[in-house]
Amino acid sequence: MSELGLVRPDMAAIVGQPYGVAVSYPVTASDIRRWAIAVHWPEPPPAHYLDPDAEAEGRLVAPLDISVFAWAAARSEPNGREIEVDPKYRAVGAMEHNLGVQPPELLRALNGGLSVDYTGVRIRPGDVIRSSTVIERYQEKESRLGTMLVTDTATTWTNQDGEEIKTARMSLIRY
Amino acid sequence: MTDVTTQAPAGEFEVGATVPPFTRTAGFHAWNRYAAVNYEFVDIHMDDEAGKAAGMPGAFGMGNLIWAWMHCAVEQWVGERGRLEHLECRFKSPALKGDRITITGTVTGRTTADDGSTVLELELWSENQTGTKTAPGTARVRLEA
């Protein structure tokens, strides 16, 4: 057991193991245009997003922050270890059940922040993106709200050529 | 004679320079468009009663949309001259209907990498019309050599 007792040995054992693997549908030019229009509204997005020749000429790239899994994934790749848990755990962002481990009894949550690293490889029409997530680490903290468990997860996207696009990190605080 | 109109503004990427403000009005028109591309149909962003039940004065905006606007601010500023390599932020308070949200920042560091490219460290944040920082963050941009 960890110092403050929130990280059980079976939780510590799943750090670094991939879960939530998903593969996108091929990204379309329309996906890219609509994302750019939505996030720039009411001003138009930079002109290259709306250039009707950009796709054919290979110049159309997606905004860095686009989500290509928002509406649906083409398929997921279960790791065979997923277990069913009460929806109350999912409601606070628990992820341990994806690796066969019962989530901790911490049913309040805060978003501790986002962080992303971009490699420079861009998403273009036709790309098929694979997403995979790991728990990077658990940390325990004392706060005025009590003992808190901070879970850092890292989600990495790669394209159909195996090139890494980005790694996005989230910090989930449960207490 | 130098044609100054083709040059970048003096000091645009120097330490202490300001990231040009990117300002938008929070509210259902922006949130609904973002929900539609990000499938983010959550009651707290759609319904005042749900927002009140969550302890806010009414419906409130998505952290993800602030995140998107931070990307827009950097893209609007740097364009093809460089690229965003790293961004991080914390969401301290959400945007409410009618808030004027501005993304801006300052250049806090500037170094030259081995390949000759210039790396800028930024403070980048979201603030509302009262000047309160609602999402403080940092970023790193690499300018082309």
The pLDDT assigned to B8 comes to 52
SS3 for A170?
strand
A50 belongs to a structural domain: no
User: pLDDT averaged over chain B?
Assistant: 93
**pLDDT digits 0-9 by tens, A27-72:** 999 999 999 999 999 999 999 999 999 999 999 999 999 999 999 9
pLDDT at B2 over 60: no
The pLDDT assigned to B7 comes to 46
A128 belongs to a structural domain: yes
ipTM summary value: 0.92
* Residue pointed to by tokens 């606070």: A92
Q: Within a 13 Å sphere around the CA of A148, how many CA atoms are in the beta-carbon half?
A: 18
For residue A149, give every residue at least 6 positions away whose Cβ sits within 8 Å of its Cβ, in sequence order, or none.
A6, A7, A104, A106, A138, A139, A140, A173, A174, A175
Q: How many domains does chain A have?
A: 1
Structural element, H or E, at residue B125: strand B118-127
Structural element, H or E, at residue B73: helix B63-78
The domain limits of chain B are 12-143
Domain carrying residue A117: 9-27+62-174
Q: Phi, psi (5° rounding) for residue A97?
A: -65, -20
- B131 shares contact with chain A (CB less than 8 Å): no
- A59 shares contact with chain B (CB less than 8 Å): no
**pLDDT digits 0-9 by tens, A101-160:** 999 999 999 888 899 999 999 999 999 999 999 999 999 999 888 899 999 999 999 999
List b or e across A121-148, with b for residues whose CB sees 16 or more CB atoms inside 10 angstroms.
bbbbbebebbbbbbbeebbeeeeeeeeb
- The enclosing domain of A15 has a CATH number of 3.10.129
Q: How far does CA A25 lie from the centroid of its chain?
A: 16
A2 belongs to a structural domain: no
A20 belongs to a structural domain: yes
- B94 shares contact with chain A (CB less than 8 Å): no
Instruction: Test A39 with B29 for CB contact under 8 angstroms.
Output: no
Q: Phi, psi (5° rounding) for residue B135?
A: -150, 90
The CATH code belonging to domain B12-143 is 3.10.129.10
A38 belongs to a structural domain: no
Instruction: Test B68 with A115 for CB contact under 8 angstroms.
Output: no
A4 belongs to a structural domain: no
A82 belongs to a structural domain: yes
Chain B residues lying within 8 Å of A64, measured CB to CB: 71, 75, 84
**pLDDT digits 0-9 by tens, B93-132:** 999 999 999 999 999 999 999 999 999 999 999 999 999 9
Give the CA angle between residues A152, A158, A160 to the nearest 5°.
Answer: 160
Instruction: Test B34 with A39 for CB contact under 8 angstroms.
Output: yes
